A and B are shown apart, each in its own frame.
Chain A
C-alpha cells in the first residue's frame, strides 16, 4: 500500500493525483497534506467511469467524498475531477451524485472531461 506522506511539504500549493480504479491510495495521500498554502486538488481518472466503480468500490468513493469535503471545509478548496469518459448509458451527473454525494449535493466539485 502507498505510504506517501505530504505532511512536511509546507509550501505545497497544488496536488495532482492520477488515480487507478481503486481510490484508497488517493485518500491516504490527501489525508497527509497539511500545507496551508494548498489551493488546488485535481484527481484524474484515466479510464471509463461507470456503474462498476460504484458497485466495486462504493465505500472507497464515499470516503473520498468525505476527505474532499474536509478540504472544502478547512481550506475552501473546490476539487477538480477529470475523467476520460463515462460508460455508455451512464449519465455523468447522476453517477457523480452517487459516487460523490456530499460534493455534488453542495455543488463544490468541478467535473471535466479531458482528452
Chain B
C-alpha cells in the first residue's frame, strides 16, 4: 500500500475544489481525514432564507456542538425565526460576515408622513407578528468584521449598539431600519471596534441617534466609505461624522430626503 499523501497536499487538493460543491461533497464522503477541510469550503457560506431552511438545518444537525456551523464564515439570515429558535445559532462561532435582513412591513405598523419627515412609526412586531430581539446574536463570534442589520420592527438603539459593540473586530456596519425618534439609554462603552471599513445608515426616523452613539466611541471612527440617507435635521451630526472620518474617508454616498420627496413617497405608499 503506498504511503498516504501528506495532509498539507491533501488540503491543497481540496482547496482547489473550493467552488465545486459536487466534488467537495464526494471528497467529504471519501475519507474521514478529508471531512474537516472539505467542510471549511462546503459550509463557508450559509443562508437561511425561510423557516423551512432553519428546520432542515436543526433536523440535520441536532447537536450544535457537532454541527458544521463552526466552519461558516458568512451567515445570512432572512427569517426572524432564526433569532427565536433556541441556542443553536451560537454554534456559528467563526463568522466574519453576518447579515440579518428581516425587514418587512406588517399590518401591525402604522406610518404617517409630513413635510418635515416621517411623523410617526409605531411598529413593535415584525411582519409575522412576532416580537424580535437581537440579544441572541450578542457576542456570537468575536471574529465578525462586517455586520449588516435590516429590520422593520422597533428595536431600541441601545439593544442594537450593545450588539454592535460585542464584536471587537468590526470594520463594516450597515443599519437599515425604521429607528426611533426618541433616544434611549446610552452607556458609552469602554472599548469599541475601530470601524475602518464601510458605514451604511438608512434609518427612516433619521440617523441622529445612531450617529450620536458612533461619535462618542472611545476608539474614534476611521471609516473609508460612508453611505447615508438623511434629511435636514440630520445635517449637523452628519457633518460631525464626516469630519471625524476626514483622515480616512474616500467614498461618500448620500441621499438627501427633501420634504417634497417624502410627500411623494407618502403618496406612493398610501
Chain A CB count within 10 A is highest, among B238, B252, B253, for B252
Minimum Cβ distance to chain A for residue B200 (Å): 12
- Of A4, A20, A21, which contacts B239 at CB under 8 A? A4
- Check: A106 CB closer than 8 A to any chain B CB: no
- Looking at chain B's contact residues, the main secondary structure is mixed
Given A4-B238, A21-B260, A22-B260, A14 and B243 touching (CB < 8 A)?
Answer: no
Number of A-B contacts (CB under 8 A): 70
Residues of B within 8 A of A12 (CB): 249-252
B251 touches A13 (CB 8 A): yes
Is B256 touching A25 in the complex (CB atoms < 8 A)? yes
Closest to B224 in A: A11
Q: Is B112 an interface residue (CB 8 A)?
A: no
Is residue B119 within 8 Å, beta carbon to beta carbon, of the partner chain?
no
Q: Quick check: A17 and B246 within 8 Å, CB to CB?
A: no
CB of B254 within 8 Å of the partner chain: yes
**How far apart sit A19 and B238, CA to CA, in the bound complex (Å)?**
17
Identity of the chain A residue whose Cβ is nearest the Cβ of B257 in the assembled complex: A20
A residues neighboring B (CB under 8 Å): 1-6, 8-22, 25, 29, 37
How far does the alpha carbon of A61 sit from the alpha carbon of B260 in the complex, in Å? Answer: 18
**Chain B residues within 8 Å of A29, by CB:** 254, 256
Min CB gap B249→A, angstroms:
6
CB of B252 within 8 A of CB of A14, answer yes
Which of B252, B257, B264 is close to A9, meaning CB atoms less than 8 Å apart?
A: B252
Q: By CB atoms of chain A within 10 A, which of B246, B247, B257 has the most?
A: B246
Q: Given A2-B235, A2-B256, A3-B235, are A13 and B261 neighbors across the interface (CB < 8 Å)? A: no
Task: List B contacts of A11 (CB < 8 A).
Answer: 246-250
Number of interface residues of B (CB under 8 A): 24
CB <8 Å contact, A1 and B232? yes
The 8 Å CB contact of A13, one of B227, B250, B256, B258, is: B250
Q: Output the nearest chain A residue to B231 by Cβ-Cβ distance.
A: A2
Chain B nearest Cβ from A86, distance in angstroms: 18
Chain A residues with Cβ under 8 A from B257's Cβ? 20
Residues in A with CB closer than 8 Å to B258 are 20, 22, 25
Chain B residue numbers with a CB within 8 Å of A3 are 235, 239
In the complex, which residue of chain A has the Cβ closest to the Cβ of B249?
Answer: A9
Name A46's closest neighbour in chain B (CB-CB): B255
Q: In the assembled complex, how far is the CB of residue B121 from the closest CB belonging to chain A, in whole angstroms?
A: 21
Given contacts A14-B251, A20-B256, A25-B256, 12 further A-B contacts (CB under 8 A): A3-B235, A4-B256, A8-B246, A9-B249, A11-B246, A12-B249, A16-B251, A17-B253, A18-B229, A18-B254, A21-B261, A22-B260
Interchain CB contact (< 8 A) of B235 among A4, A8, A13: A4
Nearest-CB distance from B61 to chain A (Å)?
A: 37
Which residues of chain A are within 8 angstroms of B252 by Cβ–Cβ distance? 6, 9, 12, 14-16
**Complex alpha-carbon distance, A29 and B235, angstroms:** 12
